[in-house]
Amino acid sequence: MSGLVNVGMDKGSMMESEDRIEKTVDIYISAEAVRDMKHKKYDTEDFDTQTVKTQTPQPTGSDSVRNRSSRAAAVCLVLLCVLLLVAVIVLCVMFTQERQQFISNNKNLTNERDQLRSKNENLTNERVQLISKNNNLTNERDQLISRNENLTNERDQLRNELNICAEWTCYQSSCYYISKEKKNWTESRTNCTERGADLIIINNTEEQDFVKNMSGAAAVWIGLTDSDVEDTWKWVDGSTLTSGFRFWASGQPDGGTTENCAVTVPPVSAKDWSNLVGWHDVACSRTLQWMCEKRISQLILP
């Protein structure tokens, strides 16, 4: 709609300009006619006053028309030049404004480009940092998984050991197991070694009293023997009895070469052992209950 209005206004302006041009041309033509009449009057007066006058040729009607046409064309040309000049000025102003607008837009686009580059560099740095953090977290996760597996294995081992230890009684720095079945001395020791232990070694009176209370009415095998050298009693760890604590019953040992393994007899069952409380040497083939001993450190560290 605005375009149609502008077109209508342009047409109206052009018609008004043409009317002005025609009026101007008529004015110029009228002025020329007046000048021609004045010249004719002056020429007649001169002819009367002067005696000798050179006759000048009088212009004809066609010459006057040509003069008017040339002057009208000149006026039109001048008007067209003016119009062209105005158009050129308007176009220059518009071009200058558009150029300035273009320069401003270009600066804005350049600034936006620089900002985008800066943001892109920041994002690139952040991505590199995130990749590095992700790698670190992945390594930490793998380490945690490995630690968790190790802890799980240790937990399972401890559970197994606790299940085994449920049959054991701990005292001071050792844990003790007393059997319910009966075996000979060699088989009893084998059973202890299968449990990660050995037949008990009694080092002091307190431990002897603990064994007496734990065994109740049973006489049990202990880790003492002179099978290698007669009358040289040694514990299962290789230590010699003479260098440590001893708790032989009265008159013991008395079996000679036929009785090479030791058993401890509590007061409750002493009536079956000639009422003698303490250690007795008996034949290693005899079947009795036994007691195993394991250091607590062995339960923690395999």
Q: What is the mean pLDDT of the chain?
A: 81
Range of the domain at 49: 2-102
- pLDDT for 239-258, tens place per residue? 998 777 889 999 999 878 88
Domain edge (last residue) among 74, 102, 130: 102
User: Residue 220 pairs with which residues in a beta bridge?
Assistant: 264, 289
Q: Is residue 93 domain-shared with residue 200, that is, in the same domain?
A: no
Kindly tell me if the per-residue pLDDT of 21 is higher than 60. no
Q: How far apart are CA 61 and CA 48, in angstroms?
A: 25
- Residue 239 maps to which CATH number? 3.10.100.10
Q: Is residue 154 part of a domain?
A: no
Kindly tell me if the per-residue pLDDT of 7 is higher than 70. no
Q: Is residue 114 part of a domain?
A: no
Identify the band that residue 182 occupies on the pLDDT scale cut at 50, 70 and 90: very high
What total number of domains does the chain contain?
Answer: 2
Contact criterion met (CB below 8 Å) for 266 and 209: no
Kindly tell me if the per-residue pLDDT of 9 is higher than 50. no
Q: Residue 235: is it exposed, middle or buried by C-beta count within 10 angstroms (0-12/13-18/19+)? A: buried
Q: Is residue 22 part of a domain?
A: yes
Q: Is residue 90 domain-shared with residue 181, that is, in the same domain?
A: no
If one compares 205 and 24, the residue with the highest pLDDT of the two is: 205
Q: Is residue 133 part of a domain?
A: no
Q: Is residue 206 domain-shared with residue 88, that is, in the same domain?
A: no
Q: Is residue 84 domain-shared with residue 198, that is, in the same domain?
A: no
Q: How far apart are CA 288 and CA 73, in angstroms?
A: 152
Domain edge (last residue) among 49, 69, 102: 102
Q: Is residue 122 part of a domain?
A: no
Q: Is residue 287 part of a domain?
A: yes
Kindly tell me if the per-residue pLDDT of 124 is higher than 80. yes
Q: Is residue 264 part of a domain?
A: yes
Contact criterion met (CB below 8 Å) for 175 and 168: yes
Domain edge (last residue) among 77, 102, 127: 102
